[in-house]
Each structure stands twice: as structure tokens, then as C-alpha cells.
Chains A and B, each alone.
Chain A
């Protein structure tokens, strides 16, 4: 059940009505309805994996209570590692087993040993990386003594399985979401209206920009050996906008949907393509994952304290793990490594926290220096996405090799109508303009409700609806569902 599907358009109002009208002001009933709806939502993907989700929830719930209840550090540690090993074990089996088996076979073949390793024929349970990280953050926080274990099973289950974030995040923290789950929620007109606005904007990003770009990016990446350098560069640009609008569009919809139920989720994107350096980009891209790695991996490893060598090592570790988190393929690891290399100068020279403010704050346009910085960061990002999108490392290198050839200076041409390509480029430019204007807000059109003229506001909304309908691309699966 995709957020941009008809089935979800029926599901959401039903849950909304049940939540506010049937459950009324009873917090227990509200949470119960949300939990049942979340399990139903997940079962629509594949009901068999619901058992895995429930098992993972039960495991973290009980280990959390066991850790809180024990006085001895040794016992606490035992429960903690049990949860970590089982959680990561599931992730390892479902997501990485075949990758390791295949990589092992290749390595053996390279030294002349041909082995036929056993691989699992399993489908990756949707959202496993997300809810596993939810659970892990909860268990780690209890172990570190930052929070107390949640005793109410329904509340805890809702924290793990709340449907807007269940399959592709944002990766929530117990410290942020659990208090909201436990607090009585009353309907807030402005929050709900803002939620709807954010859903609409997310839908535009996903259905129009991401899905249109996807068709071109897929065509170009899937047939890259036959295209010129300029076409491949265009393909990389299309993918750059596809992945941003796909994932941030999804996140916008998730945040908007949660607000309809009186719950605020963590912000996941903050206009990353306007970043002036890579460190800023990573503070603005998939924020909930970046901050997860920062808090649960980078800081425990020593973070930015200690010698330069330690900082460099820690940075490489988190980018490698982050790359690997995205998927069981060497391309993701290469993408992570590349980003670690990108960020290295600012780590070594301690300039990674220079650009903390919003770019050109209070001004309509960036300075020339800012513009060049944005352009450079954006170019590095586009280059990085080639590894992310390529099917193999060899594919990525051949793609890049073809870009940097004489054919880079030819007119791009590929199997698509010129009018369609032109139309998509115009839409992307329009999108960039709106995002730039709204970069000081939580999302691009958040300040629309401050427009005094109601007619302007509604004209914008209806135009957006019209654009979504007229220019929607062919429905594509959200990219991050595969992670």
C-alpha cells in the first residue's frame, strides 16, 4: 500500500475517522486503533513478515524490561547483547546473507576454488532496516541509562510500528516518539492542515518529479553502454532528482500523515541540494539516519574527540556502515567510501561545522561564493549517486568513463520524446525555485498559510493538484523501500 495509491487514499480517511471519532479522547483506544491500522498497513505488503515485526517488537520490549529491572551490569549487558545480536542477526540473514555468500564465492573463484555456496531464496521484508534501527536505538538508550523501559506493550509496539514511518522511516528515537505516544492527543486544526499541505507537497515531489525522472534515469542507466557522455550526465542528474524527490517526498508524506494524528515525527530532509559543503549535505540528507549513526556509532567510537587519525578512522567507519545499511551491494559501499573521502578535508581541517546556518538566510539569492559552493557540492553529490544507482562497480566505472569522453560535448539523445524530457526539465526548474524560496521552512511550502490572500493560497493548491494529475509519471516503488 503506497502512500500515493488509491488503496491508501481509502485507508487513511478510515483510520482518521476511527481515531478521532470512535476512539475519542481515550489515549488507550487511540493507540490501539493506530497499532491495528499499522499492522494492517504492514500486512498489506506481506502478511508473513508481520510475524517478524511482532517478534522483533516483543524481543526489544522484553529485553528492555529485563535491562531496566536488573541491578547488575553483567545481566544488563547480557540482555543488551541478546537484543543486538538477534536484531542484527535477522537483518544479516534477510538482507546480507546472499551478498556475503556471493562475495565469498567470487573471492574463492579468484584463487581458483570453485564453490557452489548455498543462498537463501528470501524476499527482503519491507522496512526491516528501519524498524530494526528503531528497536536498536531503544535498547541502546535503555542500556546507556538515557531512558526507562516502556512497560505498556501497546505503546511500545506503536512506537516501533506507527504506519507512517514503518516502511521507510524517519528512524525515530524513543526519547522523541514515546513521550508523544504516551501523551493524550487532541485535534489541532492548524497542525492537521499543515499536515495535509505537507502531504500534497510530498505527493508532488514523488508523483511528478521522482516518477518522471525515474523513467529517464532507468532508461539511461539500463542502457548506458549505448549513450553519449552528455546523455549519461543527464541520466545522473535525473537520478539525483529522482532519489531526492522520491525519498524526501515519502518523508514529507509520512510527516504530514503523522501530524493528522497529532504526532510530530523527526524531520528527515532540510533542502540538502542547497548545501555548501559535504558536511552540511549530510546534516541535511536523511537526517534521522545520519543522526542515528552519529549518536550510536560515531560518538561511541570517540566522535570528533581525539587525534586526527581517530577522527578519520571514525568517519570512514560510519560512512562505510551507512553505505552498507543501504543495501547488500558493493556499489553502496563504494558510495559510502566516496562520501567519506569527500568529507575528509573538512574533518582533517576541522571545518565541518562552518556552514550551520541556512544558506543566504534573509536574502533572495546566494552570493557568488555561496553559489559556487552549492554547485560544487551538488556536482560531487551527482557523481556519488552514479555509484548508488549503478548495478555494479564495473557498471559505475564504465558509466563515469563514458561521461568523461568527447561525447560529453554532444547534444544528449536517448529513447524518449524530446517534449517529455523538456517538460520534466521545466518541472525540475520550477521545483528548485519553490524549494529555494521555502528553504527557511520545515518544508518548501510550509509558509503558504501565512499568505494573507486566501485566493492566492487556494490558487496554488489547485494548481499543484492539477500539475500532479497532468504530469504524474508512471507509478514507481519508493526507492528506500528496498532498504
Chain B
């Protein structure tokens, strides 16, 4: 019996040691050798999910790099922010998307739901600390093991092939050519008709706080931004909660709201995303705003609103003239 227990314990210990080595060694190597480099000229970086990913065409905005990624909650953005800021000291300003659906409980699923975790976790595990990993393990222990296995396999391959390049996979502007008007009613309702779920994702908000704190520690200016969205966007239903949370948790961080930037229906890919046409219009305007000193003005939102109302007035005049 003693022999059996001794051998079994030894076998389990040796197996655990091998597995830990398989997980930790590649993670360590990747964390040291990974490359999150962006162009030296880029002084402003933008993080967020698919809304800014489709709205900010960074080829039209000087000195800005769009690093947004579809379906990316703040949990994973935080890991990316850490690496990007560490490796790109030229960055002066960080813009982080903060919009209605990012307070929603749906963000929990984006953080540890299997579909999202299995694609994001393997990518960012080398840069996570124990507490971060604990968040996932605690909230979805069943799928966590599988994701750990996938990440060990992927990272092993990464090390074996010396592939430490993250620049190309960390996000960027995403062009959509379809317009809302060209979509069928079905696809609009299936894509956008999802109901706003009750509840707030505390973990998402906590990691947004962490992002802000990290940027400040590194003496970077941080702004929360809200990309343009259609007035019929489903998540606008939680606007009251959104404003309350913004006030309660992020009042010390300036908020630049472009949510009401005037766009026609055919400039939207759907209610939450701009298509190429809309992104071009918005990005040109945003680039001009930056050049006009948006980030240096005292009352930034007033500056934005005045500019937006100018566009709206011009559009209305144009429409009236056209209709005559």
C-alpha cells in the first residue's frame, strides 16, 4: 500500500511538474520576446471593441493607431494595454472606448464564456498575472482547463516557430462595406435585436479602472470615448445606467462622446457599427478635430458638440435646398 501511494504521488507530482513546465516556460519566453510595436510616429492609441474598430480609420487620422479588436472586453484589453505601453514609450495619449454595451452583463460572457475565452485567453495568457487567471478559472472552471490546454499548445508552437509577433493580431481598423440599408430585415434583427440583459458586468468595469490606473502610472493621458452609434441602437436603452456608472466610477477621466455624430443610415453597417463610408466621414472629421486641438481644449465636449451641431446645421440646410 505504501509503495502504491508513494509511486502514485510521485507520478502525479512528476506529471504536474511537466505540465507546469509546458505552460510556464513558453509563457515566460513569450512575455519576454513578444513584440507589440507600433509606428514611432503614433502618439495616440485607441483601444476598444468592434465599435471603434469600425469607426476610426487610422489611415485618415494622423499620429493615431487604432488597436481595437472585435468582441474584446476590458479584461483582455488590459493585457494588451500593458504590453503596448511598455514597448512604445512614444505614446502620449490613450483613448479607450466606453459605450453602452460595455456596462452590460453580456461582457461577462465576453470575458469567460467559452467562445470568447478560447480565442482571447491563449493569446494573452503570457501577460496575465495570477489574479487575472484566477478571474477566469473561478468564473468558468469547466472551460478554463480546455482553454489552458489550447493556450499551452498554441504557445508551445509559437515558441517552437519563434513567432513572437503580436502587432498584426492585436487589432486595427476593420473595414465593412455593407450598409444598413443593403442588409435584409432579418439580418438586422438577428444582429441587433438582442435585448439588453439586466445587470452590469462589474468585472468589465473593474478592468477599465485598471486600464486607466495603468496608463496614469505610466504618465499617459487617458480619455474615454464613445464612437458614433445609430439612434436606434438597442443598448441605448441603458443610457441612464450608463451615465450613472460613468459619473460614479469614472468621473475623474474625461469622456469624449461622439455617439451623436450625424451620419445617414447608409453610413452604418448596423446600429452599432459604421461602414466604410461612415468611418471615412467620421475619421476625417475626428482627424481635423485633433488637428484643431481637441485634446488641448478645456471643455472638450463643448468643442465636440459645437462642431457636431455645425455639421447637423449644414446637413439640414443641404437637405432643404436639395428638396426644393
- Bound together, the chains give a CA A5 to CA B145 distance in angstroms of 10
Given that A187-B4, A193-B4 are known contacts, is A469 also in contact with B152, CB under 8 Å in the complex? yes
State whether B4 touches A189 (Cβ < 8 A): yes
Given that A187-B1, A187-B4, A189-B4 are known contacts, is A473 also in contact with B146, CB under 8 Å in the complex? yes
- Bound together, the chains give a CA A473 to CA B153 distance in angstroms of 12
Q: Looking at the complex, which one of A20, A196, A466 makes contact with B8 (CB distance below 8 Å)? A: A196
Question: A45 at interface (Cβ–Cβ under 8 A)?
Answer: no
B18 contacts which chain A residues (CB < 8 A)?
A: 462, 465-466
A186 CB, min distance to chain B CBs, angstroms = 10
Q: Which residue of A lies closest to B152 (CB)?
A: A470
Q: How large is the interface on B (under 10, 10 to 19, 20 to 34, 35 or more residues)?
A: 20 to 34
B3 contacts which chain A residues (CB < 8 A)?
A: 189
Q: Which residue of B lies closest to A17 (CB)?
A: B5
Interface residues of B in 132-159 (CB under 8 A from A): 141-143, 145-146, 149, 152-153, 156
Q: Could you mark each residue 144-185 of chain B with 1 if its beta carbon is under 8 Å from any beta carbon of chain A, else 0?
A: 011001001100100000000000000000000000000000
State whether B153 touches A471 (Cβ < 8 A): yes
Interface residues of B in 1-44 (CB under 8 A from A): 1, 3-4, 7-8, 11, 14-15, 18-19, 22
Given that A6-B141, A461-B11, A475-B143 are known contacts, is A469 also in contact with B19, CB under 8 Å in the complex? yes
Give the interface of B toward A (CB within 8 A).
Answer: 1, 3-4, 7-8, 11, 14-15, 18-19, 22, 114, 118, 141-143, 145-146, 149, 152-153, 156
Interface residues of A in 446-483 (CB under 8 A from B): 461-462, 465-466, 469-475
The total of chain A residues at the interface (CB under 8 A) is 19
State whether B146 touches A469 (Cβ < 8 A): no
Q: Which residue of B lies closest to A463 (CB)?
A: B18
Question: A192 at interface (Cβ–Cβ under 8 A)?
Answer: yes
Give the interface of A toward B (CB within 8 A).
Answer: 5-6, 20, 187, 189, 192-193, 196, 461-462, 465-466, 469-475
B98 CB, min distance to chain A CBs, angstroms = 32
A433 CB, min distance to chain B CBs, angstroms = 22
State whether A470 touches B1 (Cβ < 8 A): no
- 11 more contacts with CB within 8 A, not counting A189-B4, A471-B149, are A5-B142, A6-B141, A20-B1, A187-B4, A462-B15, A465-B15, A471-B153, A473-B146, A474-B118, A475-B142, A475-B146
State whether A470 touches B142 (Cβ < 8 A): no
B44 CB, min distance to chain A CBs, angstroms = 35
Q: Looking at the complex, which one of A461, A462, A475 makes contact with B145 (CB distance below 8 Å)? A: A475
Given that A196-B8, A461-B11 are known contacts, is A470 also in contact with B146, CB under 8 Å in the complex? no
A469 contacts which chain B residues (CB < 8 A)?
A: 19, 22, 149, 152
B230 CB, min distance to chain A CBs, angstroms = 29
A417 CB, min distance to chain B CBs, angstroms = 11
- Bound together, the chains give a CA A466 to CA B19 distance in angstroms of 7
B80 CB, min distance to chain A CBs, angstroms = 23
A110 CB, min distance to chain B CBs, angstroms = 33
User: 4 closest pairs, A vs B, by CB?
Assistant: A465-B15, A474-B146, A470-B153, A187-B1
